[in-house]
Amino acid sequence: MESYLRATLEADGQEIPQRIVAAREAIAVRLKDLNESSDHHAERHDMQMALAALTRLENEVSLRPPVDRAKKSTPVTPTPATDELKSGDRVECLANSGTPTGEIGTVERADEDDAVVKWDDDGRARVGQPWLKKV
C-alpha cells in the first residue's frame, strides 16, 4: 500500500506514471500471495479499489496537457489601492495573479492595511487592501 500512496500523493506529474506502475506491481504481488488463502476478503477488496483508483489517476494524468514550467504564471502582488477604502465601499477581490476573481462585497471596516469585507455570496473576511479593488 505504500507504493499506492506514493502514486496518489505524487506532486510531480512526470513521476506519476512510474509511481502507478510500481503500485500496480506491488498490488499484484500481494494479490498473488492472498490467492493462496481463503481469508483476507477485506484486503482483497481494498486492493481492487486501489487498482481502480490507480486507473482513474492514470486516466486523469493522460488527459492533462503537459506543463511548460517556463510559461507558468508567477503570482504577483497587486499594487496598493490608490483610494483609501472606507465603510460602505463596494469592492472586488483580486487573485494571486492580480486579476479580479468576481467576488464582490461591501467594506464593513477598514484601516490602512486591510479591510473587513462582507461578501455578497457568503460571510465576512479580513482582506489585505492590496487584494481589493473598488467597483
- Number of domains into which the chain is organized: 2
**81 within domain boundaries:** no
Residue 30 CA to residue 48 CA, distance in Å, equals 11
Structure confidence by residue, pLDDT tens digits, 24-39: 888 888 888 887 777 7
**31 within domain boundaries:** yes
**77 within domain boundaries:** no
**78 within domain boundaries:** no
**73 within domain boundaries:** no
Q: Which of 108, 87, 100 is nearest to 132 (CA)?
A: 100
Residues comprising the chain, all counted: 135
Structure confidence by residue, pLDDT tens digits, 51-105: 888 888 877 777 666 555 555 555 555 555 556 888 899 988 877 667 777 788 8
Q: What is the pLDDT of residue 88?
A: 92
For residue 75, give the C-alpha cell.
503570482
For residue 46, pLDDT over 60 is answered with yes
102 and 59 in a common domain: no
44 and 95 in a common domain: no
- Among 44, 63, 82, residue at a domain's last position: 63
In angstroms, how far is CA 126 from the centroid of its own chain?
22
**56 within domain boundaries:** yes
**75 within domain boundaries:** no
- Among 18, 44, 63, residue at a domain's last position: 63
**72 within domain boundaries:** no
Domain that holds residue 121: 90-134
Collapsing DSSP states into helix, strand and coil, what is residue 108?
A: strand
Collapsing DSSP states into helix, strand and coil, what is residue 19?
A: helix
Mean pLDDT computed over 16-30: 85
Q: Which of 72, 83, 127 is nearest to 101 (CA)?
A: 127
For residue 13, pLDDT over 60 is answered with yes
